[in-house]
Structure 1
Amino acid sequence: MSRASRLLDLLQLLRRRRAPITGPALAEELDISIRTLYRDIATLKAQGADIQGEPGLGYVLRPGFTLPPLMFSVDEIEALVLGSRWVVVRGDARLASAAEDAVAKIRAVLPDDLRQSVDAATLTVPRAQGEPVVIDASVIRAAIRKEQRLVLTYRDQDGEGTTRTVWPLLIGFFDKVQVLAAWCELRQDYRAFRVDRIQSVEPKDERYPRRRAVLVKEWRAKQNLPATAGT
């Protein structure tokens, strides 16, 4: 195994652990000596990884590490580029711009041979023509992150308009539509709203009363029930 591959494996092990893991446990999993492990941890720290801990206590990787060169295989690069192209085609303008910026940042830190893999990625995403979205979907995404109530003006499949106060949970991306899953205060139940049928969206300056993680767990548990889209 090359040293670059070993450093990547060590980084991935630390990323998967939320609690500290001891040096001997890391060394055993990587099949390396404890001395080599300490050198590799020092190398990752020098490259910017915020690894906290010390021998005898264990190590944990704090979030926010900037990826150094040689951290992607060709398959991983193609997966990233394909994902970014999907977002460019299927997402809104702000997400599309963010996807392009992310690939540009990754490309900038890659060595020449891997950078050519980004430019010559062989996978593409066809455009799917759907109904236009008239609202700024980034407002919904921001409310999801903040666990913030939203007031929607919504048009159902029959063209009838209603105003709903909802607790937004997540947005699902399908071939031609985006769907907002949310708790609806009017219906006192989980509902799905097609984003292209939302006519206006206004965030309320207040959090909804339950934690999003709990609500999402409940929503997932109910997915075996018949879905009713925004009714």
Structure 2
Amino acid sequence: MARSERLLSLLQALRRHQRPVSGARLADELGISIRTLYRDIASLQAQGASIEGEPGVGYILRPGFMLPPLMFSQTELEALMLGFRWVSKFADEPMTKAASDALAKIAAVLPENLKDELESSALLVGPRTFKDAETVDLRVARAAIRNEQKLRLTYVNVTGNQSDRTIWPFALGYFQKVRILVGWCEERMAFRHFRTDRITVLTNLEERYPKRRATMLREWRETQTDMRYVPDS
């Protein structure tokens, strides 16, 4: 492993740990000797990384440091490119544009050799075989999820029955041919899944719901056994 890639891997390992982690554990994660680890920590500290700790106590990285220029391993670049290509094929139009803008920003600050790796990635995504079916703007749903705000929606189920719901949205699932809005439904007093192509009206009530999004997501996951996300009826 090249030294630059090793330093980046060390930074990533430190970022994964929210509490001080021993040098021995870090060295084991990275597959290097403890002596090499101490030298690498000293190198990062000399470059401005706020790494606190000492041998026998443990190390922690304080937030706010990024190695200039932006660096990724080859596998990380492949993962990024594959993700961007998937989004550009299967996400809604605003998300597709955002992905393209983000990719351009990343490419602009990469060293030339890494930029070449990004552009020549051979991991491909299959063709899109469907058109967007939503009649509502999914940016409204994403904003409500970010801000932990209630949504009011009109939903038409598979049999054509229409109902009005107030939900606490906390997730939006993107699948190859369908998108699912997940939330707590006040009318049903339970978690519900809504196909976005069956939502005819979507309004942000700009009223915060009483739980945190992370809590809702955790509680919902605990109820899911088969993870099929069956749309509400």
The TM-score by the shorter chain falls in which range? 0.7 to 0.9
Contact 1:7/1:44 (<8 A) preserved: no
Q: Is the 8 A contact 2:5 2:73 kept in 1?
A: no
Q: By how many angstroms is 1:26 displaced?
A: 4.3
The one-letter amino acid of 2:168's match is W
Change (3 A) 1:222 1:86: same
User: Does the 8 Å CA contact 2:136/2:200 hold for their aligned counterparts?
Assistant: yes
Aligned CA RMSD, in angstroms, stands at: 2.6
Kindly provide the amino acid, as one letter, of the partner of residue 153 in structure 1.
Answer: T
Aligned to 1:166: 167
- Percent identity of paired positions between Structure 1 and Structure 2: 45
Whole-angstrom CA distance in 2 between matches of 1:61 and 1:76:
21
How far is 1:142 from its partner?
1.7
Q: Once the two structures are superposed, what CA deviation does each residue of 1:2-32 show, in whole Å capped at 9, x if it has no partner?
A: 2202211211111110113356764675424
TM, length-normalised to structure 2 = 0.84
TM-score, structure 1 as length reference? 0.84
Change (3 A) 1:207 1:18: same
Structure 1 residue 42 and structure 2 residue 45: aligned? yes
Aligned counterparts, 1:62-141, within 5 A: 62-63=62-63, 65-66=65-66, 68-69=68-69, 71-125=71-125, 126-141=127-142
Which residue identity does 1:230 align to in structure 2?
D
Which range moved further: 52-61 or 183-192?
52-61
Q: Is the 8 A contact 2:15 2:61 kept in 1?
A: yes
* Structure 1 residues 223 and 116: CA distance shift in structure 2, 3 A: same
Q: 1:66 to 1:156 in 2, by over 3 A?
A: farther
Query: Aligned partners of 2:162 and 2:193: how far apart in 1?
Result: 15
Q: Which residue does 2:232 correspond to in 1?
A: 230
Aligned residues: 227
1:106 positional shift: 2.0
Equivalents in 2 of 1:133, 1:61: separation in Å? 44
Distance in 1 (alpha carbons) for counterparts of 2:45 and 2:65: 14
Range 98-107 or range 219-228, more displaced:
219-228
Task: Work out the CA distance in 2 between the residues paired with 1:96 and 1:67.
Answer: 28
Q: In the alignment, is residue 183 of structure 1 matched against residue 184 of structure 2?
A: yes
